[in-house]
Amino acid sequence: MAKTSTRFVCQNCGAVHSRWQGRCDGCGEWNTIVEEQPEAPRAPGPAGKSRGGRAIEFVGLKGRAAPPPRTRTGLEELDRVLGGGFVPGSVVLVGGDPGIGKSTILLQAAARIASAGKRTLYISGEEAIDQVRLRALRLGLTDSPLGLAASTSLRDIAASLEEEQDCTLVIIDSIQTVWLDSLDSAPGTVSQVRACAAELTRLAKTRNFAVVLVGHVTKEGTLAGPRVLEHMVDATLYFEGDRGHQFRILRAVKNRFGATDEIGVFEMTDKGLMEVANPSALFLAERRGNISGSAVFAGMEGTRPVLVEIQALLSPSASGGSPRRQVVGWDSGRLAMLMAVLESRCRVSLGQNDVYLNIAGGLRINEPAADLAVAAALVSAATDRPTDPDRVFFGEVGLSGEVRQVAQTDLRLREAAKLGFAAATLPRRVARGGRPPGKGPEGLRLAEIGHLADLVAPLAAAAARKPAKDAPPEEEAAEEA
Ligand code: TYD
Ligand code: MG
């Protein structure tokens, strides 16, 4: 029989070690290993009927498969990220930095569901009742029949939830503060978080209500401890955004009941989080035309097209050492690759300049389709000439400089046309009939290019012809009429 000695568990990835060490072999993180008491030893020997197991019943694949009935919050942006609302019996993990607005949005959503006549409970382990009430007062939600409690004891919470008839939604704010007294570890440790989440999941499935677990995020941007939770829950949503910006983006990274990579956009106001129905207009609101180093990217976030401004700045390296590469909102490895392709395939010299790249508005872009827009911003900065302010860019760039197809071309173009753009630079499409080349939806002029050089040449030529700065922007790519 296994010895019941203490064990050392990494709080980041959950790996178990036999002794303490500074660095976890599992995930490579430092100082994440904490001593924990082992879970109760399991009964030894083979499991099976002789040990009291019951035979399970197997069924065929045919049968009732009606889509699960959902509870909509009425916050469109949240409902879409959830895949259409909360599914009964499901567990949703909501992660994000402290202060980003997790408690605020969940209180707003819970109060709306409660106001619709559905039993909704909000259990706060972080804040006292009065603090939550104060927030509700500011948000104008005090009339909602929401059930509010402050508790951290999972035993008490479970006992209360067992009593509930017909409950729709339970919010646990946060999973790191609740604890089970049968475990010796402190609240927030992997064992506690895992055991509490398992118990809440069991309750959700048996009592058929939806549970939302709030989880905090570490400096590195992963859910602290609860990373082990991502496997257990049905959906994981991250709440991201810059504290310096009003925008908050709710992103689904896992969803058993909907699409991932779907985003919801909110704006933090003094009345709580407001939905932003047209994020492109918001992200482009502060754009100033006729400035070099800026290009508009027609991107996709989940099922929705989103236009954002990409900004690049080159400045002579002061130190004389290796130049700085600073990126906000994009992958720095991808920037290095793109700069190498620009230098070796298109003879654009970025030289000993420091390069700064920024996605305006605080959005984080993961799509390779942004390559072409980033390249346009870089070339524009390098030649000190603005790109055409009425043009959007999208397309992936390969190592030989070839411009590759990306998904959802039509959706991107339609969004650009809707927001008043007149032209687009995009990958050359394989002729498939349909629309003639060069024409986009609603009269959008298309420059379909096959190589990065096709983007660079007109910009560079224009820069060579005229002194930069005050000159009007040129059409930078030959339009294929
Ligand atoms: P909160 O929901 O408490 O964040 P979390 O639960 O993720 O830690 O959000 C707190 C921040 O939101 C705080 O900095 C104040 C701000 N806020 C507003 O700007 N307006 C509001 O109406 C509310 C309720 C909060
Ligand atoms: Mg909170």
119/231 Cα distance (integer angstroms): 28
* Chain CA centroid to CA 124, Å: 25
Tokens 């909102």 belong to 329
Report CA torsion sign: 456, 458, 459, 461. positive
CA of 272 to the centre of ligand 1 (A): 7
Strand partners of residue 424: 392, 446
Question: Are 93 and 223 in contact, with CB atoms under 8 Å apart?
Answer: yes
Nearest CA to ligand 1 atom 10: 99
3-state secondary structure of 242: coil
Tell whether ligand 1 has an atom less than 6 A from the beta carbon of residue 177: no
Q: Could you write out the DSSP letters of every residue in 290-357? A: S-TTEEEEEEEETTEEEEEEEEEEEEE-SSSSSPPEEEESS-HHHHHHHHHHHHHHH----TTEEEEE
Please give the helix or strand (H or E) that residue 431 lies within, else none.
Answer: none
Ligand 1 lined by 99 (C-beta under 6 Å): yes
Q: What is the CA radius of gyration of the chain?
A: 27
3-state DSSP call for residue 439? strand
pLDDT tens for the chain, 481 residues long, are 445 568 888 877 788 888 888 888 888 888 888 887 766 555 555 555 566 788 988 988 887 767 678 999 999 999 999 999 999 999 999 988 888 899 999 999 999 999 999 999 999 999 999 999 999 999 999 999 999 999 999 999 999 999 998 999 999 998 989 999 998 888 888 888 889 999 999 999 999 999 999 998 765 545 555 567 888 899 999 888 777 777 888 988 899 988 877 888 899 998 899 998 888 887 788 788 778 999 999 999 877 889 999 999 999 887 777 888 899 999 999 999 999 999 999 988 887 889 999 998 778 898 999 999 999 999 999 998 898 999 999 999 999 999 999 999 998 998 899 888 999 999 998 765 555 666 778 788 999 999 999 999 877 776 676 554 444 444 444 444 3
Q: Under a CB-based contact definition with an 8 Å cutoff, are residues 274 and 296 in contact?
A: no
Ranges of H-type helices in 185-275: 190-207
Binding residues for ATP: 96-103
Residue nearest to ligand 1 atom 25, measured at CA: 272
| Residue 350 near residue 382, CB atoms below 8 Å | yes
User: Would you say the pTM of this structure is higher than 0.85?
Assistant: no
CA–CA separation, 204 and 428 (whole Å) = 50
Q: Which residues contact 370 (CB under 8 A, 6 or more apart)?
A: 297, 299, 310, 330, 394
Least Cα distance to 307 among 412, 422, 441, 439 occurs for 412
Cα 63 to ligand 2 centre (Å): 42
Angle between helices 452-465 and 371-383 (to 10 degrees): 20
270 lines ligand 1 (CB under 6 A): yes
Q: Is residue 305 in contact with ligand 1, taking CB distance under 6 Å?
A: no
Q: Residue ranges of the domains in the chain?
A: 1-38, 76-277, 282-430+440-478
How far, in Å, CA of 468 to CA of 459, rounded? 11
Ligand 1 contacts CB of residue 243 (under 6 A): no
Span from the CA of 128 to the centroid of ligand 1 (angstroms): 15
Helix axes 154-163, 190-207, angle to 10 degrees: 0
Please give the Cα distance from 442 to 416 (Å, whole number): 10
Please tell me if the CB atom of residue 138 comes closer than 6 angstroms to any atom of ligand 1. yes
Instruction: Give the closest residue (by CA) to ligand 1 atom 9.
Output: 101
Measured distance CA(422)–CA(455) in Å, rounded: 17
Q: What is the CB neighbour count within 10 angstroms for residue 442?
A: 13
- For 42-62, the DSSP string reads PPPS--SGGGT--PPP---S-
Q: Do domains 76-277 and 282-430+440-478 have the same CATH topology?
A: no
**φ/ψ of residue 56, rounded to 5:** -90, 160
Contact 266, 248 (CB under 8 A): yes
| Angle between helices 102-115 and 129-139 in degrees, nearest 10 | 70
Secondary-structure breakdown of the chain: helix, strand, coil percentages, each rounded to the nearest 5: 30, 25, 45
For 111, half-sphere exposure in the C-beta direction (CA atoms, 13 angstrom radius) is: 18
Distance 318 CA to ligand 2 centre (A): 43
Atom of ligand 1 nearest to the CA of 239: 7
Domain 282-430+440-478 classification at class level: alpha beta
Report which secondary-structure segment, H or E, holds 159.
helix 154-163
Classified by CATH at the fold level, domain 76-277 comes out as: Rossmann fold (3.40.50)
